[in-house]
Structure 1
Amino acid sequence: MTNPVRILVVGGGYVGMYTALHLQRKLKRQLPRGTGQGGAEITVVTPDPYMTYQPFLPEAAAGSISPRHVVVPLRRVLPHCRILVGEVNAIDHARRTATVTTLATAEEGTGPRRMTYDELVLAPGSVSRTLPVPGLADHGIGFKTVEEAIGLRNHVIEQMDIASSTRDPAVRDAALTFVFVGGGYAGVEALGELEDMARYASRYYHNIKPADLKWILVEASDRILPEVGEKMGKYAVRELRGRGVDIRLNTRLTSVDNRVAALDDGARFPTRTLVWTAGVKPHPVLAASSLPRDERGRLRCTAQLAVEGAPHAWAAGDAAAVPDLTSPGKGEDCAPNAQHAVRQAKVLAENIVASLEQRPLSDYRHKHVGSVASLGLHKGVAFVYGRRLKGLPAWAMHRAYHLSRVPTFNRKARVLAEWTLSGLFKREIVSLGSLEHPRAEFELAAGGEPPGLR
């Protein structure tokens, strides 16, 4: 091995952070600097200096958790790693080089820099999968980042403010109509939490009642939340419909032109809020490499989490097609979820160290134990170890599971404290939309024009 071994981790999400965390622990102990065996330099290239715990985004949007407690600062968790905030643009694995654009190179205008490495860990995650729907790029709102979650919360409350103050019935109706496209975890949990929050907030508006709010969920397949099973998916539909949510299965969005959500069943909804959560796709950096990919654009990997036919390249999580050894003969891959990602990261780090020490590699094998989903405060569904739960027990299991999974004791304690306080006091329903335009007040004072209301 070289001295020191250069390990490049692309991505600072679940897999990237946990792989780097395990590597810094193992290499610090097993490959200490200053010995004849050499040391290790671990570099993590990530667009953000923090890892986002995405299962908590719906609760952050609803105000149950502070945004800063949904993210984990990488420099605090990975003190022995080098953190580069930037993007990997291309990878030439034959030459062991990666082209990287950092904040500094963008500011200096010097163009991307080239980094060399000995071992490559690809964990860039996924990006929203959009379709060529007219108007979607102009009016759609995503739900994959903490910024999007908080922006959506502010937006929903602002729409209620607009509806409360306007005299135009058409503007009021559009402001109080909220359309969510996608019936997976992100769409259903976001809708459930925000509907709960908006219904609670309506009590503080003299001219808005819960019945005035119109919530619509559009799903192209014949059910929602497929991860929790068919029966629990049907229960979730009944629960949401009982709260007045208009759920349209086997339906697609065809247009959002002029702020009108048009569906293929002929329905049209004037709306100022369209949230797009209709699936994800692999990060574009995978296509900017010569590494082998499957038909869905993910890296082809072995059960040892090595990229097929590419020595010294490793991958896991959303970016990797890892064979599921618990389903022999079926040819299935591991589901791209957090349950697998965290466990894959540990095996991946162990295999990198084993490879450096020329020891046998371990297979990744983990049987999926089930799924949990929140439908709002005190409401949820779960399918765990073959048992079905709904309502309060499922919601409690959802919180307990994700509290146990969120990284660091610091974050666990803060989230638990916030949950405890939220049970003792009333919800916070203030909108901080001005955070998106922090210079507006100064620009106005300096004689400029502030950004208009959305």
Structure 2
Amino acid sequence: MARPRILVVGAGFAGVACVRRLERKLAPDEADVSLVTPFSYQLYLPLLPQVASGVLTPQSIAVSLRRSSRYRTRIIPGGAVGVDAKAKVCVIRKITGEMLNEPYDYIVLAPGSITRTFDIPGLVDHARGMKTLAEAAYIRDHVITQLDLADASHDPAEQASRLQFVVVGGGYAGTETAACLQRLTSNAAKRYPRLDPKLIKWHLIDIAPKLMPELGDKLGRSALEILRKRGIDVSLGVSVAKAAAEEVTLTDGRVLPCRTLIWTAGVAASPLVATLDAETVRGRLAVTAEMTLPGFDGVFALGDAGAVPDLAGGEGAVCPPTAQHSMRQGRKIADNIMATLRNQPLQPYVHKDLGLVVDLGGRDAVSKPLGIELRGMPAQAVARGYHWTALRTNVAKTRVLTNWLINAVAGDDFVRTGFQSRIPATLRDFEYTDAYLSKEQIREQLASGAGGPGPAAGDD
């Protein structure tokens, strides 16, 4: 009898938490565990704005899977592009482009999310995202490039378009991105004596009537005051009507000269979800409180992919796809898979949100740990303390802490590496939404026989 095969899709907070729990708790001969991910690291996403602003180096928040694992998990370098739940096979496109049919007995769907875009003319061709390490590194280079080119230009119109920056999305990602990058350009302006600092303008826009409503009215207003005091133009109830290479048209009729449009206006579940043809809630799989998918044997979903009922949030509520919930859901799914293997009852996921932290760069922050509202340095200490303790390895903690200390003492640097300088790196270039297979393509791929190793559990 072959060992049961557990396949975890995605190396985000949810997937890695699940794998680590399985590695610690499973007996060596109890099951085989595989992890599907195109990268050999877990990205600590909340600190991505600090990579974009140069406070942290990219490798600081890329936590090595091979350093933190116990070497029992087989890592498949690629991305899942389709699932046939009836045949219990996941179709994987490896980083070489080769297709692989990977059989499983239990599958954990934690493929993360994609940037949520709308039918806005020019958006995917001209906007840039903030979901990957490459995008953050590119945006830093791009912003500094605009300062360099504006400094060398004698054309006022060119300077105006290069020195205006638009960030769309008033959630955590957008607010922190705008705050951290505005601080970078403000400090950089001192190194460009030919540029008038007043020409450098940052815009943060969001269609919602409030900035980060999850913080509550008081802290939301505090964050808004901090941003506006820094000179960031915050426009609420407004979005993008049209994007072009050198300007952005807003829904209120304003046309902003702009060559930097950063889009962080929400996320959508991975298109992998649609390949299962299962019931969804706002694009996420409608799972039980135990995170099983009804009607699908051996399928679990969580995080951005699963609409997990929030038993601590009232009837009908679902857990938001935050890192805090995802990590705990990953551990609970691991427990439930082990319970299934051992013929024990599954347990529901229950967790009450512990609070929120927002790092606005420098000494500015707002936080709400355990419902306590904090501002300024106390909030900054809580925010950075939370992020630091959440990093899984001592190497990552050492790198992040060292970067913070260096930045506090030496300040920002404004080196433009030139990496990807000739690549557009817009949403179209990073969002591979056309990579997923239709049901017909999945059937054709399974018929091709490019299978994974070994028979299914229970097969002869």
Instruction: Name the TM-score, length of structure 2 as normaliser.
Output: 0.89
* 1:405 aligns with one of 364, 381, 390: 390
Q: How does 1:136-215 map to 2 (within 5 A)?
A: 136-215=123-202
Partner of 1:122 in structure 2?
Answer: 109
Code of the aligned partner of 1:32: P
Code of the aligned partner of 2:37: T
Any unmatched runs of 5+ in structure 1? Answer: 34-38, 439-454
Partner Cα distance (1:3, 1:359) in 2: 21
Code of the aligned partner of 1:415: V
Q: How does 1:233-248 map to 2 (within 5 A)?
A: 233-248=220-235
Q: How does 1:26-425 map to 2 (within 5 A)?
A: 26-27=25-26, 31-33=27-29, 39-78=30-69, 79-104=71-96, 106=97, 112-294=99-281, 296-328=282-314, 330-425=315-410
Partner Cα distance (2:161, 2:58) in 1: 28
Partner of 1:19 in structure 2?
Answer: 18
**Residue 280 of structure 2: SS of its match in structure 1?**
coil
Contact between 2:138 and 2:420, CA under 8 Å: does it hold in 1? no
**Bigger RCO of structures 1 and 2 (CA < 8 A, at least 6 apart):** 2
Partner Cα distance (1:72, 1:369) in 2: 24
Partner of 1:426 in structure 2?
Answer: 411
Code of the aligned partner of 2:402: A
Query: Against the structure 1 CA distance between its residues 46 and 154, is the aligned structure 2 distance closer, same or farther, given a 3 Å change threshold?
Result: same
Deviation at 1:194, TM superposition (A): 0.5
Partner Cα distance (2:402, 2:6) in 1: 37
1:113-170, CA deviations, whole angstroms, 9 ceiling, x for partnerless residues?
2111101100001110011111112210100111111111111111000110001100
Contact between 1:87 and 1:102, CA under 8 Å: does it hold in 2? yes
Deviation at 1:5, TM superposition (A): 1.1
Partner of 2:428 in structure 1?
Answer: none
**Residue 351 of structure 1: SS of its match in structure 2?**
helix
Code of the aligned partner of 1:43: S
Contact between 1:229 and 1:383, CA under 8 Å: does it hold in 2? no
Code of the aligned partner of 1:312: G
Contact between 1:203 and 1:209, CA under 8 Å: does it hold in 2? no
Deviation at 1:429, TM superposition (A): 1.5
Code of the aligned partner of 1:76: R
Contact between 1:139 and 1:259, CA under 8 Å: does it hold in 2? no
Code of the aligned partner of 2:53: A
**Residue 387 of structure 1: SS of its match in structure 2?**
coil
**Residue 268 of structure 2: SS of its match in structure 1?**
strand
Contact between 2:79 and 2:92, CA under 8 Å: does it hold in 1? yes
**Residue 304 of structure 2: SS of its match in structure 1?**
helix
Contact between 2:151 and 2:192, CA under 8 Å: does it hold in 1? yes
Deviation at 1:258, TM superposition (A): 4.3
Deviation at 1:386, TM superposition (A): 2.0
**Residue 345 of structure 1: SS of its match in structure 2?**
helix
Contact between 2:82 and 2:92, CA under 8 Å: does it hold in 1? yes
**What is the alpha-carbon root mean square deviation over aligned residues?**
1.5
Deviation at 1:436, TM superposition (A): 4.6
Code of the aligned partner of 1:13: G
Contact between 1:92 and 1:290, CA under 8 Å: does it hold in 2? no
Structure 1's consecutive aligned runs of 4 or more residues displaced over 3 angstroms after TM superposition are 434-438
Code of the aligned partner of 1:324: D
Partner Cα distance (1:61, 1:265) in 2: 29
Partner Cα distance (1:183, 1:260) in 2: 20
Contact between 1:316 and 1:322, CA under 8 Å: does it hold in 2? yes
